[in-house]
Amino acid sequence: MFSYYFNLGLRSLRRNPVLTTLMVMTLAVGVAASMSTLTVLRAMSGDPIPHKSERLFVVQVDNYPADTEEGEDPADHLSWLDAKELLRAGDGLRRSAMYAVGGVTELQDGSNQLVSGMAVTRDFFAMFEVPFRFGGGWSAEADTRGADEVVLSDAFSRRLFGETDPTGKTLRVMGRDRTIVGVLDAWQPLPKYYWLVGGSNRFGETDDVFVPLQNALVNELDPNGNVNCSGEGPEPGFNGLLNSECVFMQYWVELKSAAERDAFRQRLGAYIETQKSLGRLPVGERSRLLNVQEWMRAQRVLGDDTILQTLLATGFLLVCIVNTIGLLMAKFSGHAGEIGVRRALGATRRQLFQQYLVQAGVIGLAGGVLGVALTFAGLALIARQSEEVAAVAHMDATMLLLTLCAAVGAALLAGLLPTWRACQTLPAIQLKTQ
């Protein structure tokens, strides 16, 4: 009977075309408003590496001074002093200390191009499952030695070399002639969770280049981001920075399982105690070990304005549903005669309830189709807010399907009361008044 009801629903769209259009528009606008904001919310709050996010941890070693106020979060970054020790300890399955670097790339025609990059250890690529189009990461030996090597992002490589494989070529990047060992495939985690700190573009493009951390340190590549120093400032020079309590690094570790977290935390606690005995880390006990989702929450990746927008849009959808209830009441009241006839011809109340609920669903489906189109328009509008939002304001297949389901669901919800009311029609009265 469902196909019969569906067919009747399609035909009923033509009846009361003004009311039908109003309902379809109401649902479409309500669904589009909520789905476009929900798309952004989902993209911003989504898990960028779901199969692994429980095993990837950012380590926050708090080196704030003793007079730090209670309740204040530990520093987002850590110092090279701590990053160095953590790397040396070699704890966990994979690990990488990293910091943002910047500079210029000297092109063959003599022109320079500004580049943004990350100084990372080789584990970075396997830990974050970075895909490669050509080549791969550098070797362990190159990692230790701090070789003049570089990995290019997909977009950067295409800009410089087009579709050709540039691995093995030399490129002068950040003052060094570097051998290109790898080119990433398309990779743009949203958000860019491995580097959410230091005013980074969280939803921006992947960094242009990746260089070995040791190479960056040896060549004194300055941090391209926030450097926070508590207490006395660093000694002059790059080595002064490295030997200071200034924080500018991020440290990520991959554990074999989420269950190893406590054990790692204990070892981290032991390290902090050792450092305390050496007169460092006076509030080191506030140090944290956060997995990907926890880190994103701590960094407030999902802004309050996004949440507020979504709540308002959802409220608007509710208003649209309430309006649709009224419109459906009006539409179904015009069907009282037909309901009476169908009852007389043998339809049960349940069958009529199903028929009219499917009819409401068909209206919802029409609203959903229009709603999808409006959602695309809504996302285009939202994308104009900022580049960051533009990066996530894209509808995928899941959200498209969800939009259709939301419209049908909203229509079914709105249709419950009018359908129930319609089915209470006493056929004898309706037949007499026909």
Partner 1 sequence: MLSMRQLSKIYRTHMIETHALRGFDIEVKEGEFVAVTGPSGSGKTTFLNIAGLLEEFSEGDYLLDGVSVRGLNDDQRSRLRNEKLGFIFQGFNLIPDLNLFDNVDVPLRYRGYPAAERRRRIEDALGKVGLGSRQRHYPAELSGGQQQRVAIARALAGSPRLLLADEPTGNLDSQMARGVMELLEQINAEGTTIIMVTHDPELAARAQRNVHIVDGSVSDLERGALGHALHISRVDDSPSVAG
Q: Which residues bind partner 1 (CB under 8 A)?
A: 1, 4, 8, 11-12, 14-15, 337-338, 340-351, 426-428, 431-432, 434
Q: From CA 88, how far away is CA 96, in angstroms rounded?
A: 11
* Residue nearer to partner 1 on the CB measure, 16 or 179: 16
- Classified as helix, coil or strand, 270 is helix
Helix intervals (H) in 334-348: 336-344
The DSSP string of 307-359 is HHHHHHHHHHHHHHHHHHHHHHHHHHHTTHHHHHHHHHTT--HHHHHHHHHHH
Distance of closest approach, residue 306 Cβ to partner 1, in angstroms: 45
Q: Write out the E strands in 243-334.
A: 247-254, 288-291
Helix intervals (H) in 170-260: 213-218, 238-242
Distance of closest approach, residue 14 Cβ to partner 1, in angstroms: 7
Distance of closest approach, residue 51 Cβ to partner 1, in angstroms: 49
* Residue nearer to partner 1 on the CB measure, 15 or 169: 15
* Residue nearer to partner 1 on the CB measure, 352 or 391: 352
Q: What is the total residue count of the chain? A: 434
Distance of closest approach, residue 356 Cβ to partner 1, in angstroms: 14
How far CA 434 is from CA of 16, 334, 337, 356, in Å, comes to 18, 11, 6, 20
* Residue nearer to partner 1 on the CB measure, 77 or 335: 335
* Residue nearer to partner 1 on the CB measure, 8 or 318: 8
Q: From CA 206, how far away is CA 294, in angstroms rounded?
A: 22
Q: From CA 226, how far away is CA 96, in angstroms rounded?
A: 19
Distance of closest approach, residue 430 Cβ to partner 1, in angstroms: 9
Q: Is the peptide bond before 427 cis (omega within 30 degrees of 0)?
A: no
Contacting residues for 424 by C-beta, under 8 A, at least 6 apart: none
* Residue nearer to partner 1 on the CB measure, 6 or 316: 6
A 10 A CB-CB count for 340 gives 20
* Residue nearer to partner 1 on the CB measure, 24 or 246: 24
Distance of closest approach, residue 1 Cβ to partner 1, in angstroms: 7
Distance of closest approach, residue 354 Cβ to partner 1, in angstroms: 12
Sign (positive or negative) of CA dihedral 107, 112, 117, 121: positive
* Residue nearer to partner 1 on the CB measure, 261 or 421: 421
Distance of closest approach, residue 377 Cβ to partner 1, in angstroms: 33
Q: Do 140 and 95 contact (CB within 8 A), yes or no?
A: no
Helix intervals (H) in 53-153: 80-89, 123-127, 140-145
